[in-house]
Structure formats: structure tokens, C-alpha cells
Amino acid sequence: MDEFEEKMEKIAAEGLSEAEIKKRFIDELGDQCICPDCPMYNQCAQEKYEGVYCFLGKSECTMEEDDCICPECEVFEDLDLKYDLYCIKASEKELRGQ
Ligand code: SF4
Ligand code: SF4
């Protein structure tokens, strides 16, 4: 089991609601997320205070595909993430088919 699976398992065991899980991800990972430095992060995403797409899933904005900088993010390394372009694809969980 990798770090990502362990984290998801721990959170599932707490029996939190969807909204609580979302808040947890924002509180825990928001400061480390480097999406605002990414060439794809636009004004719409900024106005909606979006980020942490790896856990929260796709953006509500229309993003133009460019180079994703997720692999340079601490969250990516610490939690053994495997994908990229979360803002236009889906969360890590969805991309892993879980
Ligand atoms: S891996 Fe990507 S989406 Fe996830 S916190 Fe880091 S920069 Fe944001
Ligand atoms: S998920 Fe990746 S591509 Fe999307 S804004 Fe964050 S760093 Fe950029």
C-alpha cells in the first residue's frame, strides 16, 4: 500500500461527510499546492480559489492544456501520486479507478 492509499484509507475510517473530506484536503494540502504557479491556472480558477485538484477533482473552469507542474509539488511526492493534469482530468482517486 502506498502513501496515497494509506491516507485515503485513514480518512475513510473516520466516516466524514463529503464536505468534511473536502475541507480536510484544503486545510491539509492547500498551502503546499503549487497550482497557482502553473501556466494552466487562469483567472477563473483564481476567482474560485481552486486548487488541490489531485484530491478535489476537475476544475469548474475551462483550462487550456499546457505543462502540468504537479510532479514538482511536495504533495505529489509525499503521497506517491502517479498522474497529472488533475484540473482537466479527474482526481488521483478517480484516475486510479478507486
Ligand atoms: S499535486 Fe498538483 S493539484 Fe495536487 S496539490 Fe500539488 S500542485 Fe496541487
Ligand atoms: S493540476 Fe496540474 S495542470 Fe492543473 S493547475 Fe495544477 S499543476 Fe497545473
pLDDT at 70: 98
Distance between CA atoms of residues 37 and 62, nearest Å:
17
Grouped pLDDT means (10 residues each) for the chain, 98 residues? 95 94 96 98 98 98 97 98 98 96
> From ligand 1's centre to the CA of 43, what distance in Å?
18
- CB of residue 35 inside a 6 A radius of ligand 2: yes
User: Which atom in ligand 2 lies closest to the alpha carbon of residue 34?
Assistant: 7
**Ligand nearest 29 Cα, by number?**
1
| Three-state secondary structure call for residue 33 | coil
Can you say whether residue 85 is alpha, beta or left, with left for phi > 0 and alpha for psi between -120 and 50 degrees?
A: left
